[in-house]
Protein backbone atom coordinates (compact mmCIF):
# COMPACT_ATOMS: atom_id res chain seq x y z
CA UNK A 1 0.00 0.00 0.00
CA UNK A 2 2.98 2.32 0.39
CA UNK A 3 3.30 2.55 -3.40
CA UNK A 4 -0.40 3.49 -3.55
CA UNK A 5 0.06 6.16 -0.92
CA UNK A 6 2.99 7.55 -2.94
CA UNK A 7 0.83 7.73 -6.07
CA UNK A 8 2.83 5.10 -7.96
CA UNK A 9 0.06 2.48 -7.97
CA UNK A 10 -3.72 2.47 -7.83
CA UNK A 11 -5.73 -0.21 -6.03
CA UNK A 12 -8.55 -1.15 -8.40
CA UNK A 13 -9.77 -3.93 -6.09
CA UNK A 14 -8.56 -5.07 -2.67
CA UNK A 15 -5.26 -6.81 -3.27
CA UNK A 16 -5.14 -5.91 -6.98
CA UNK A 17 -2.91 -3.04 -8.11
CA UNK A 18 -2.00 -1.32 -11.37
CA UNK A 19 0.51 1.36 -12.30
CA UNK A 20 -1.10 4.77 -11.96
CA UNK A 21 -0.44 6.16 -15.44
CA UNK A 22 -1.01 2.82 -17.13
CA UNK A 23 -4.49 2.92 -15.61
CA UNK A 24 -5.23 6.60 -16.24
CA UNK A 25 -4.24 6.37 -19.91
CA UNK A 26 -6.08 3.11 -20.63
CA UNK A 27 -9.24 3.34 -22.71
CA UNK A 28 -12.50 3.11 -20.71
CA UNK A 29 -13.39 -0.28 -22.24
CA UNK A 30 -9.99 -1.67 -21.30
CA UNK A 31 -10.40 -0.42 -17.74
CA UNK A 32 -13.79 -2.09 -17.44
CA UNK A 33 -12.32 -5.39 -18.65
CA UNK A 34 -9.43 -4.98 -16.21
CA UNK A 35 -11.86 -4.44 -13.33
CA UNK A 36 -13.59 -7.67 -14.30
CA UNK A 37 -10.23 -9.44 -14.29
CA UNK A 38 -9.50 -7.99 -10.84
CA UNK A 39 -12.82 -9.28 -9.49
CA UNK A 40 -12.07 -12.64 -11.10
CA UNK A 41 -8.74 -12.82 -9.28
CA UNK A 42 -10.55 -12.27 -5.98
CA UNK A 43 -13.46 -14.57 -6.80
CA UNK A 44 -12.28 -17.26 -9.27
CA UNK A 45 -15.72 -18.93 -9.39
CA UNK A 46 -17.62 -15.69 -10.10
CA UNK A 47 -19.54 -15.78 -13.38
CA UNK A 48 -19.73 -12.47 -15.25
CA UNK A 49 -22.97 -11.51 -16.95
CA UNK A 50 -24.85 -8.76 -18.79
CA UNK A 51 -22.86 -5.79 -20.13
CA UNK A 52 -19.64 -6.93 -18.45
CA UNK A 53 -19.86 -10.32 -20.18
CA UNK A 54 -20.28 -8.50 -23.52
CA UNK A 55 -17.22 -6.38 -22.70
CA UNK A 56 -15.15 -9.48 -21.94
CA UNK A 57 -16.14 -10.97 -25.29
CA UNK A 58 -15.24 -7.68 -27.01
CA UNK A 59 -18.77 -7.05 -28.30
CA UNK A 60 -19.20 -3.36 -29.30
CA UNK A 61 -21.46 -1.29 -27.05
CA UNK A 62 -22.52 2.33 -27.31
CA UNK A 63 -21.51 3.14 -23.74
CA UNK A 64 -19.19 1.76 -21.10
CA UNK A 65 -21.06 -0.24 -18.40
CA UNK A 66 -21.63 1.69 -15.18
CA UNK A 67 -20.93 -1.37 -13.00
CA UNK A 68 -19.15 -4.71 -13.10
CA UNK A 69 -21.86 -7.38 -13.38
CA UNK A 70 -21.56 -10.83 -11.81
CA UNK A 71 -24.17 -13.49 -11.22
CA UNK A 72 -25.63 -13.67 -7.70
CA UNK A 73 -26.10 -17.08 -6.11
CA UNK A 74 -28.96 -16.06 -3.81
CA UNK A 75 -31.43 -13.25 -3.18
CA UNK A 76 -29.47 -12.07 -0.17
CA UNK A 77 -26.37 -11.73 -2.33
CA UNK A 78 -27.84 -9.58 -5.10
CA UNK A 79 -27.49 -5.82 -5.40
CA UNK A 80 -24.65 -3.33 -5.78
CA UNK A 81 -21.67 -2.79 -3.50
CA UNK A 82 -19.47 0.27 -3.74
CA UNK A 83 -15.79 -0.17 -4.51
CA UNK A 84 -13.12 1.32 -2.24
CA UNK A 85 -11.20 4.38 -3.48
CA UNK A 86 -8.50 3.50 -5.99
CA UNK A 87 -6.16 5.99 -4.32
CA UNK A 88 -6.12 4.19 -0.98
CA UNK A 89 -4.89 6.43 1.83
CA UNK A 90 -3.06 8.87 -0.43
CA UNK A 91 -3.05 12.45 0.81
CA UNK A 92 -5.51 14.92 -0.64
CA UNK A 93 -2.64 17.03 -1.96
CA UNK A 94 -1.10 14.07 -3.82
CA UNK A 95 -4.46 13.07 -5.31
CA UNK A 96 -5.06 16.66 -6.41
CA UNK A 97 -1.61 16.77 -8.00
CA UNK A 98 -2.16 13.55 -9.98
CA UNK A 99 -5.64 14.63 -11.08
CA UNK A 100 -4.31 17.99 -12.22
CA UNK A 101 -1.66 16.25 -14.31
CA UNK A 102 -4.32 13.92 -15.77
CA UNK A 103 -6.43 16.92 -16.78
CA UNK A 104 -3.45 18.46 -18.56
CA UNK A 105 -2.66 15.30 -20.52
CA UNK A 106 -4.63 14.54 -23.67
CA UNK A 107 -4.16 10.78 -23.26
CA UNK A 108 -5.42 10.49 -19.66
CA UNK A 109 -8.92 10.06 -18.22
CA UNK A 110 -9.80 11.77 -14.94
CA UNK A 111 -12.89 9.53 -14.82
CA UNK A 112 -10.54 6.60 -14.16
CA UNK A 113 -10.30 7.71 -10.53
CA UNK A 114 -13.97 6.84 -9.99
CA UNK A 115 -14.27 3.22 -8.86
CA UNK A 116 -17.12 1.21 -10.39
CA UNK A 117 -19.51 -0.69 -8.12
CA UNK A 118 -19.86 -4.45 -8.27
CA UNK A 119 -23.44 -5.41 -9.14
CA UNK A 120 -24.62 -8.94 -8.40
CA UNK A 121 -27.58 -9.99 -10.55
CA UNK A 122 -29.90 -12.94 -10.05
CA UNK A 123 -30.50 -15.21 -13.06
CA UNK A 124 -33.55 -14.38 -15.19
CA UNK A 125 -36.80 -16.06 -14.20
CA UNK A 126 -38.29 -17.60 -17.36
CA UNK A 127 -42.00 -17.23 -18.07
CA UNK A 128 -44.01 -19.99 -16.43
CA UNK A 129 -41.24 -20.51 -13.87
CA UNK A 130 -40.65 -19.37 -10.29
CA UNK A 131 -37.56 -17.67 -8.89
CA UNK A 132 -36.43 -20.74 -6.89
CA UNK A 133 -36.95 -22.96 -9.93
CA UNK A 134 -35.02 -20.61 -12.20
CA UNK A 135 -32.05 -20.45 -9.84
CA UNK A 136 -32.02 -24.25 -9.64
CA UNK A 137 -32.14 -24.47 -13.45
CA UNK A 138 -29.43 -21.86 -13.87
CA UNK A 139 -26.90 -23.40 -11.49
CA UNK A 140 -27.52 -26.99 -12.60
CA UNK A 141 -24.71 -28.45 -14.73
CA UNK A 142 -27.38 -30.11 -16.90
CA UNK A 143 -29.88 -27.31 -17.50
CA UNK A 144 -27.92 -24.11 -16.84
CA UNK A 145 -25.92 -22.09 -19.37
CA UNK A 146 -22.70 -22.85 -17.52
CA UNK A 147 -19.66 -20.65 -17.16
CA UNK A 148 -16.88 -20.51 -19.74
CA UNK A 149 -13.33 -19.59 -18.77
CA UNK A 150 -12.04 -17.04 -21.26
CA UNK A 151 -9.08 -14.64 -21.44
CA UNK A 152 -9.87 -10.99 -20.79
CA UNK A 153 -8.87 -8.86 -23.80
CA UNK A 154 -5.84 -6.59 -23.37
CA UNK A 155 -5.37 -7.55 -19.70
CA UNK A 156 -2.17 -9.20 -18.50
CA UNK A 157 -1.05 -10.23 -15.05
CA UNK A 158 2.28 -9.15 -13.59
CA UNK A 159 4.03 -12.25 -14.98
CA UNK A 160 2.75 -11.52 -18.48
CA UNK A 161 0.11 -14.25 -18.64
CA UNK A 162 -3.40 -13.46 -19.80
CA UNK A 163 -5.99 -12.86 -17.11
CA UNK A 164 -8.87 -15.33 -17.34
CA UNK A 165 -12.38 -15.20 -15.87
CA UNK A 166 -15.61 -17.18 -15.94
CA UNK A 167 -18.41 -15.73 -18.03
CA UNK A 168 -21.72 -16.84 -19.46
CA UNK A 169 -21.86 -18.10 -23.06
CA UNK A 170 -22.30 -15.16 -25.42
CA UNK A 171 -25.82 -16.07 -26.68
CA UNK A 172 -27.08 -16.29 -23.09
CA UNK A 173 -25.42 -12.99 -22.15
CA UNK A 174 -27.01 -11.33 -25.18
CA UNK A 175 -30.45 -12.71 -24.27
CA UNK A 176 -30.20 -11.46 -20.68
CA UNK A 177 -28.85 -8.04 -21.67
CA UNK A 178 -30.32 -6.77 -24.93
CA UNK A 179 -34.03 -6.67 -23.94
CA UNK A 180 -33.01 -4.33 -21.10
CA UNK A 181 -31.34 -1.86 -23.50
CA UNK A 182 -32.57 0.69 -26.02
CA UNK A 183 -33.05 -0.58 -29.55
CA UNK A 184 -29.99 1.30 -30.76
CA UNK A 185 -27.74 -0.24 -28.11
CA UNK A 186 -29.22 -3.70 -28.64
CA UNK A 187 -28.69 -3.72 -32.41
CA UNK A 188 -25.14 -2.36 -32.17
CA UNK A 189 -24.25 -5.40 -30.04
CA UNK A 190 -26.31 -8.01 -31.91
CA UNK A 191 -25.21 -6.99 -35.42
CA UNK A 192 -21.60 -7.41 -34.32
CA UNK A 193 -22.19 -10.74 -32.59
CA UNK A 194 -23.99 -12.19 -35.62
CA UNK A 195 -21.20 -11.00 -37.91
CA UNK A 196 -18.47 -12.38 -35.67
CA UNK A 197 -17.22 -8.79 -35.34
CA UNK A 198 -16.03 -9.13 -31.75
CA UNK A 199 -13.08 -10.50 -29.82
CA UNK A 200 -13.59 -14.23 -30.47
CA UNK A 201 -14.88 -14.05 -34.03
CA UNK A 202 -17.43 -16.90 -33.93
CA UNK A 203 -20.71 -15.84 -35.50
CA UNK A 204 -23.76 -16.07 -33.27
CA UNK A 205 -26.50 -17.69 -35.36
CA UNK A 206 -30.26 -17.27 -35.23
CA UNK A 207 -30.42 -20.87 -33.98
CA UNK A 208 -28.17 -19.82 -31.06
CA UNK A 209 -30.57 -17.00 -30.28
CA UNK A 210 -33.59 -19.29 -30.46
CA UNK A 211 -31.98 -21.81 -28.11
CA UNK A 212 -31.64 -19.30 -25.24
CA UNK A 213 -35.01 -17.58 -25.79
CA UNK A 214 -36.68 -19.97 -23.34
CA UNK A 215 -35.00 -17.96 -20.57
CA UNK A 216 -36.82 -14.71 -21.43
CA UNK A 217 -38.51 -13.42 -18.31
CA UNK A 218 -41.47 -11.27 -19.44
CA UNK A 219 -43.68 -10.60 -22.43
CA UNK A 220 -41.98 -7.26 -22.87
CA UNK A 221 -38.59 -8.99 -22.94
CA UNK A 222 -39.91 -11.50 -25.49
CA UNK A 223 -41.11 -8.67 -27.76
CA UNK A 224 -37.82 -6.78 -27.44
CA UNK A 225 -35.78 -9.92 -28.10
CA UNK A 226 -37.88 -11.01 -31.09
CA UNK A 227 -37.65 -7.52 -32.61
CA UNK A 228 -33.87 -7.40 -32.19
CA UNK A 229 -33.36 -10.92 -33.55
CA UNK A 230 -35.47 -10.06 -36.60
CA UNK A 231 -33.96 -6.61 -37.22
CA UNK A 232 -30.30 -7.56 -36.66
CA UNK A 233 -28.20 -7.84 -39.80
CA UNK A 234 -24.59 -9.10 -39.88
CA UNK A 235 -23.97 -7.01 -43.02
CA UNK A 236 -23.65 -3.91 -40.82
CA UNK A 237 -19.92 -3.34 -40.60
CA UNK A 238 -19.60 -0.94 -37.66
CA UNK A 239 -21.47 0.35 -34.60
CA UNK A 240 -22.16 3.55 -36.52
CA UNK A 241 -23.84 1.67 -39.35
CA UNK A 242 -25.88 -0.41 -36.90
CA UNK A 243 -27.04 2.65 -34.98
CA UNK A 244 -27.85 4.34 -38.29
CA UNK A 245 -30.11 1.48 -39.33
CA UNK A 246 -32.16 1.73 -36.15
CA UNK A 247 -32.52 5.50 -36.47
CA UNK A 248 -33.49 5.22 -40.15
CA UNK A 249 -36.21 2.77 -39.09
CA UNK A 250 -37.35 4.92 -36.16
CA UNK A 251 -37.54 7.99 -38.40
CA UNK A 252 -39.93 6.12 -40.67
CA UNK A 253 -37.75 5.74 -43.78
CA UNK A 254 -37.67 2.74 -46.09
CA UNK A 255 -35.08 0.11 -45.19
CA UNK A 256 -31.95 0.36 -47.32
CA UNK A 257 -29.94 -2.51 -48.74
CA UNK A 258 -26.56 -2.93 -47.05
CA UNK A 259 -23.08 -3.20 -48.56
CA UNK A 260 -24.42 -3.10 -52.11
CA UNK A 261 -21.82 -3.47 -54.89
CA UNK A 262 -22.47 -1.24 -57.91
CA UNK A 263 -20.72 -0.92 -61.27
CA UNK A 264 -19.26 2.51 -61.91
CA UNK A 265 -19.07 4.16 -65.36
CA UNK A 266 -15.31 3.53 -65.61
CA UNK A 267 -15.84 -0.21 -65.14
CA UNK A 268 -14.70 -0.35 -61.51
CA UNK A 269 -16.90 -1.40 -58.57
CA UNK A 270 -17.95 0.51 -55.47
CA UNK A 271 -19.64 -0.88 -52.38
CA UNK A 272 -22.26 1.33 -50.73
CA UNK A 273 -22.90 1.31 -46.98
CA UNK A 274 -26.62 1.92 -47.66
CA UNK A 275 -28.53 1.82 -50.93
CA UNK A 276 -32.11 2.95 -51.58
CA UNK A 277 -32.23 1.52 -55.06
CA UNK A 278 -35.78 2.65 -55.87
CA UNK A 279 -34.97 6.22 -54.85
CA UNK A 280 -31.53 6.18 -56.51
CA UNK A 281 -29.95 7.30 -53.24
CA UNK A 282 -26.72 6.02 -51.71
CA UNK A 283 -26.02 6.43 -48.01
CA UNK A 284 -22.59 6.62 -46.41
CA UNK A 285 -21.79 6.69 -42.71
CA UNK A 286 -18.52 8.53 -42.09
CA UNK A 287 -16.86 7.45 -38.87
CA UNK A 288 -13.46 8.80 -37.89
CA UNK A 289 -12.11 5.28 -37.33
CA UNK A 290 -13.15 4.29 -40.84
CA UNK A 291 -11.31 7.32 -42.23
CA UNK A 292 -8.17 6.66 -40.18
CA UNK A 293 -8.12 2.97 -41.15
CA UNK A 294 -8.39 3.85 -44.83
CA UNK A 295 -5.37 6.13 -44.50
CA UNK A 296 -3.39 3.46 -42.63
CA UNK A 297 -4.21 0.62 -45.00
CA UNK A 298 -3.60 2.62 -48.17
CA UNK A 299 -0.44 4.27 -46.92
CA UNK A 300 -1.69 7.65 -48.13
CA UNK A 301 -2.08 10.91 -46.25
CA UNK A 302 -5.40 12.07 -44.82
CA UNK A 303 -5.70 14.61 -47.63
CA UNK A 304 -5.08 11.82 -50.13
CA UNK A 305 -7.83 9.68 -48.61
CA UNK A 306 -10.19 12.66 -48.70
CA UNK A 307 -9.40 13.32 -52.37
CA UNK A 308 -9.96 9.65 -53.26
CA UNK A 309 -13.29 9.82 -51.44
CA UNK A 310 -14.36 12.87 -53.47
CA UNK A 311 -13.45 11.13 -56.72
CA UNK A 312 -15.33 7.99 -55.70
CA UNK A 313 -18.37 10.06 -54.80
CA UNK A 314 -18.39 11.70 -58.23
CA UNK A 315 -18.32 8.29 -59.90
CA UNK A 316 -21.25 7.13 -57.74
CA UNK A 317 -23.20 10.24 -58.74
CA UNK A 318 -22.46 9.41 -62.38
CA UNK A 319 -24.59 6.27 -61.94
CA UNK A 320 -27.61 8.54 -61.39
CA UNK A 321 -27.59 8.32 -57.61
CA UNK A 322 -27.53 11.14 -55.11
CA UNK A 323 -25.52 10.62 -51.91
CA UNK A 324 -26.47 11.25 -48.30
CA UNK A 325 -23.53 11.38 -45.88
CA UNK A 326 -23.75 11.49 -42.11
CA UNK A 327 -21.59 11.00 -39.04
CA UNK A 328 -21.78 10.39 -35.28
CA UNK A 329 -22.92 13.95 -34.66
CA UNK A 330 -25.94 13.40 -36.89
CA UNK A 331 -26.81 10.20 -35.03
CA UNK A 332 -26.73 12.12 -31.75
CA UNK A 333 -29.25 14.60 -33.22
CA UNK A 334 -31.60 12.45 -35.34
CA UNK A 335 -33.36 15.46 -36.84
CA UNK A 336 -30.14 16.24 -38.71
CA UNK A 337 -30.08 12.74 -40.20
CA UNK A 338 -33.76 13.03 -41.09
CA UNK A 339 -33.19 16.30 -42.98
CA UNK A 340 -30.27 14.83 -44.91
CA UNK A 341 -32.29 11.80 -46.03
CA UNK A 342 -35.29 13.94 -46.96
CA UNK A 343 -33.07 16.33 -48.91
CA UNK A 344 -31.76 13.47 -51.07
CA UNK A 345 -35.24 12.01 -51.62
CA UNK A 346 -35.30 8.86 -49.48
CA UNK A 347 -38.87 7.53 -49.29
CA UNK A 348 -40.83 6.91 -46.13
CA UNK A 349 -42.15 3.44 -45.42
pLDDT for residue 61 is more than 80: yes
| pLDDT beyond 70 at 235 | yes
99 pLDDT more than 80: yes
Contact 170, 57 (CB under 8 A): yes
User: Can you give the pLDDT at residue 300?
Assistant: 52
Distance CA 311, CA 330 (A): 24
Task: Look at the chain and count its residues.
Answer: 349
Q: 175-178, long-range: CB within 8 Å, 24+ apart, which pairs?
A: 175/124, 175/209, 175/212, 175/213, 175/215, 175/216, 175/225, 176/49, 176/50, 176/124, 176/215, 177/49, 177/50, 177/51, 177/53, 177/54, 178/224, 178/225, 178/228
Phi-psi region of 43 (alpha: psi -120 to 50; beta: other; left: phi over 0): beta
What value does the mean pLDDT take over residues 160-167? Answer: 94
294 — pLDDT class (breaks 50, 70, 90): very low
Segment 102-150, tens digit of pLDDT: 999 999 999 999 989 999 999 999 998 999 999 999 999 999 999 999 9
Question: For residue 1, what pLDDT band results from cuts at 50, 70 and 90?
Answer: confident
Extents of the domains making up the chain: 2-177, 239-344
Which pLDDT does position 183 carry in this prediction?
97
User: How far apart are alpha carbons 274 and 285 in whole angstroms?
Assistant: 8
Closest CA to 167 of 28, 31, 51: 51
| Cβ-contact 326, 244 below 8 angstroms | yes
pLDDT at 301: 57
Pick the more confident residue, 337 or 300. Answer: 337
Instruction: Determine the average pLDDT of the residues in 285-292.
Output: 63
- In this prediction, what percent of the chain has a pLDDT beyond 90? 77
Instruction: Report the distance separating Cα 92 and Cα 94, nearest Å.
Output: 6
CA-closest candidate to residue 37, choices 70, 3, 4: 70
Q: How far apart are CA 47 and CA 39, in angstroms?
A: 10
Amino acid sequence: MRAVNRGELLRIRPGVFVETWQWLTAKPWTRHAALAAAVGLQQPTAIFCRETALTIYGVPQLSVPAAVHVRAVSTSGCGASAAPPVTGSSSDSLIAQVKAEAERREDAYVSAFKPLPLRRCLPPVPLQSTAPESRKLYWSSETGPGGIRVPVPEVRLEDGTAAEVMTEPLPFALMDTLPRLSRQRAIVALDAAMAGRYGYGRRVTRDDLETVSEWLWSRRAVRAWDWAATFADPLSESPGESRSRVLIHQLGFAAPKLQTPIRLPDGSTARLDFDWEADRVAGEFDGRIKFDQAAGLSGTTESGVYWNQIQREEKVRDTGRSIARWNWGDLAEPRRLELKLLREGVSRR
